[in-house]
Amino acid sequence: MIRQSIDRAKVLSKNTAKVFHGLRQYLAGGEPDTDSWRALLDLHCMTNGRSTDIMTRVMRTVRPPRLSGAPYESLLGSFTSKRVNEIVEDIRRDGYCVFKGRVPADICDGITAASLRLEARAGRKPDSKMMVFDPKSPIAAVYDVPERESIKIVEMQRLVADPIFANVAETYFRARSTIMNAALWWSPVMDGKPDTDAAQLFHFDYDPAPIWLKFFVYLTEVTPTTGPHVFVRGSHRRQLPISKGLLARHYVRIPDDEIEAVYGKENIIDLTGPRGTVIAVDTLGFHKGKPPTTGNRLLAQIVLCTPLFVKLNGGTVPLPVDIVSELEEALSQRPWVYERYRASQPE
């Protein structure tokens, strides 16, 4: 027992040193290495989330919020700071919030049509091939459209430019936020069995940042049989006694029955909704995607974070020369939100 305690203390000390080395790199204007991120993940699992709470407080000091809280218009309707705070309180309590407003049909139409023309990565293995998604004969459980291509879609640009995402994220973080990823993928009907690479077994995320929030936009109608996001209500909260045993197993997939035994069946929520539904989720909580069985699902995902390990997520993304006015205005008004994007120069 004493030997185990000494070994644990050594690992904690080693990982803490790596994390602070990465933080020094960040404060010096660079980006931490992969080892720093792995050390932060290890500490999260070893401390039942306490280390993540500490790093969250650090990043709130380093990156104070900038948004004013003034009323604004969104694709989802009109928002005030009061309404945003109500959304954030839902996320703090449950780990997610389903927005009342929905993305307009023309945005969904445009992104859907483009996604059926663009090449996507069929699967998430190193040797996965690029091909156009064929709804009638899918060969993989997930088809990822590269971000460099999806950002060329006019309607995707309008979605990314919407101020609701940064406003909710910064209020939730109490820190300045940046878009880490704007993803687009199809989840087709296959054999109904969960696919590990397509994240269809319970897990928690540990993205390249100490704080993040994911916004899922259902571009097709999502029912219990067409691939809903499934979230374990309340499991995002750090330092819960019931979470300690699961986190101690590190970054692994967890069977449904074990999640149910720990959190209760009543807290395993299928997040369904009509086309255009938007859901904000703190995916530090346990979650999964349910395999579609009766219809293919198209989903856009916009992730905001307080960046510390952004390079792990692919570096900068070039924007088209001609971007929509909404995105041009967003870049001007909220440049810190779009740190990963760079303008292309006309030829």
Domain boundaries, the chain: 1-62, 68-343
Amino acid letter, residue 213: L
Q: Return the ∠ at Cα 116 (arms to 113 and 119), rounded to 5°.
A: 135
For 249-278, give one letter per residue: b (16+ CB within 10 A) or e: eeeeebeeeebeebbeeebbbebbbebbbb
Pairing mode, strands 317-319 and 341-343: parallel
The two tokens of residue 202 are: 């319970």
CB 219 within 8 A of CB 111: yes
Print pLDDT tens along the chain (347 aa). Answer: 677 777 788 889 999 999 988 888 888 877 778 888 899 999 999 999 999 999 999 999 999 998 877 889 999 999 999 999 999 999 999 999 999 999 999 999 999 999 999 999 999 998 999 999 999 999 999 999 999 999 999 999 999 999 999 999 999 999 999 999 999 999 999 988 888 877 889 999 998 788 999 999 999 999 999 999 999 999 999 999 999 999 999 989 999 999 999 999 999 999 999 999 999 999 999 999 999 999 999 999 999 998 877 665 567 889 999 999 999 999 999 999 998 898 755 44
Give the integer Cα–Cα distance in Å for 57 and 244.
21
Query: For 226, which DSSP code?
Result: S
Q: Which of 180, 111, 204 is nearest to 150 (CA)?
A: 111
pTM: 0.94
CATH class of 68-343: mainly beta
From the number of C-beta atoms within 10 Å of its C-beta (0-12, 13-18, 19+), residue 240 rates as middle
Q: Which of 269, 282, 261 is nearest to 228 (CA)?
A: 269
Report CA-CA distances (Å) from 264 to 95, 223, 267, 301. 16, 22, 6, 28
212 Cβ neighbours under 8 A, 6+ residues apart? 180, 205, 282, 283, 284, 303, 304, 305, 306
